[in-house]
Amino acid sequence: MDAYLFASKPMGLEWVNKGNLSSAQKIYEVMEVSTHFHPINKELARLKTGVSGDSVFLWVGRLNDNKDPLNVVKAFLRFAAVSPRANLYMIYQTDELLNEIRRLMNASHYGDKIILVGKVFHDDLHYWFNSADFLISGSHYEGSGTAVCEAMACGCVPVVTNIDSFKMITDNGRCGLLYEVGNENALLNALLKTEASNIEEKRKNCLEYFKSNLSFEAIANRIQEIATGL
């Protein structure tokens, strides 16, 4: 092999440290996936999705331990107590932890601030990302982060765990907010920061960074740059 491509260089270094790859010098950072999703008028998008609220958060992912939806739900219910204008819509293709999530919602006075959407066709996610202000992820590990990439392509600001791949995708948090994996209080603090953050600036950062680093054109240019430099 002449080159190893990883969404984040620190992820590749873990492979070297464990003896699975031979040389750190062969590691190159390039995003592995992109999307044709793009910004559209939020009002038109919400006509399609039925989303409402002054501060709309979105979850997209499987309801399993790695995605950690329970931590997200716990933190959001606490956040809703101090920010009643906020709603969280949850889209999921599998429902392993759905019963536990419902129990948490039923035990809270703010359970109605979380809307369980369920399965959505992939193409329709374009409208959902354009309907929401923020995307929440609780992932403990990701090879890259397709949903985060798609959200940023639409100007939806990520509130995500501080794993290596998400650090790269969000330009180390410049395009969103990072919090410690599995830490309910850290996520709550990040959610509280969304109320004080300049969402238009974050949205602009997302769109610019997507174009320069996460788009198909950016990925192709980066791979060509790597290949010609070998």
Q: Is residue 4 part of a domain?
A: no
- Residues paired with 57 in a beta bridge: 88, 134
By residue range, what is the domain housing residue 114?
Answer: 35-213
Write out the two tokens for 7: 């969404």
Q: Which two tokens stand for residue 173?
A: 């948090």
For the chain, the domain total comes to 1
Give 195's Cβ-side CA count (13 Å radius): 12
* Residue at 111 is within a domain: yes
218, part of any domain: no
Tell me if the pTM is above 0.85: yes
Cα atoms in the Cβ-side hemisphere of radius 13 Å centred on 18: 7
Q: What is the pLDDT along the chain (230 residues), one digit of tens a residue?
A: 999 999 999 999 999 999 999 999 999 999 999 999 999 999 999 999 999 988 999 999 999 999 999 999 999 999 999 999 999 999 999 999 999 999 999 999 999 999 999 999 999 999 999 999 999 999 999 999 999 999 999 999 999 999 999 999 999 999 999 999 999 999 999 999 999 888 899 999 999 999 999 999 999 999 999 999 99
CATH code of the domain in which 184 resides? 3.40.50.2000
Helix then strand then coil, in percent of the chain rounded to 5, is 50, 15, 35
The answer to whether position 145 is within a domain reads yes
Q: Distance (Å, rounded) from C-alpha 94 to C-alpha 70?
A: 14
Per the domain annotation, does 84 fall within a domain? Answer: yes
Where does the chain have alpha helices with state H? 9-17, 42-49, 69-82, 98-106, 125-131, 146-153, 164-169, 184-194, 199-209, 216-229
> Is 95 contained in some domain?
yes
In this structure, is residue 85 part of a structural domain? yes
Q: Residue 72 domain-assigned?
A: yes
Do residues 34 and 112 make contact, with C-beta atoms less than 8 angstroms apart?
A: no
